């Protein structure tokens, strides 16, 4: 019997201004592992995505990424400075009914990121 295994899944995130978006993500702590000037492979720990030099305002305005972290407050502190530097919008961390504490962060192209930390579930068995 053949076993199907996966190795990785990556999203292609659009960028209106590729260089500016690349700087934005590196300021958030993502490491650039590879680029050809039109596509970049960015990683943070075991998380990765591909940034593409692709402008589609309607697409970017409806695109959303979710990054789960261990310390949402530390990420928010970092992201506040990055949002200010790049003149992007950032929300305040809030507890959500789906057992996550998260905040929103828009990148320079309008892509919405939800950066979240798992919360203990009140309905979890003891």
Q: Which residues contact 31 (CB under 8 A, 6 or more apart)?
A: 42, 43, 44
Residue 126 pLDDT greater than 70, yes or no: no
| pLDDT digit string, tens, across residues 80-106 | 999 999 999 999 999 999 999 999 999
Q: For 4-9, what is the mean pLDDT?
A: 88
Reported residue count of the chain is 126
What's the pLDDT band for 56 if we cut at 50, 70, 90? Answer: confident
Domains, the chain, ordered by start: 12-118 (3.10.180.10)
Helical packing angle, 72-86 and 18-27, nearest 10°: 150
Residue 53 pLDDT greater than 80, yes or no: yes
């Amino acid at each position: 019997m053949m076993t199907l295994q996966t190795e990785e899944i990556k999203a292609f995130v659009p960028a209106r201004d590729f260089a500016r978006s690349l700087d934005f993500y590196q300021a958030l702590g993502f490491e650039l592992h590879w680029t050809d000037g039109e596509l970049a492979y960015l990683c943070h720990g075991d998380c990765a995505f591909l940034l593409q030099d692709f402008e589609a305002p309607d697409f970017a305005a409806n695109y959303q990424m979710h990054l789960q972290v261990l310390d949402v407050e530390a990420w928010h502190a970092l992201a506040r400075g990055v949002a200010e530097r790049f003149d992007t919008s950032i929300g305040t961390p809030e507890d959500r009914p789906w057992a996550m504490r998260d905040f929103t962060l828009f990148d320079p192209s309008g892509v919405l990121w939800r950066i979240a930390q798992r919360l203990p579930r009140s309905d979890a068995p003891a």
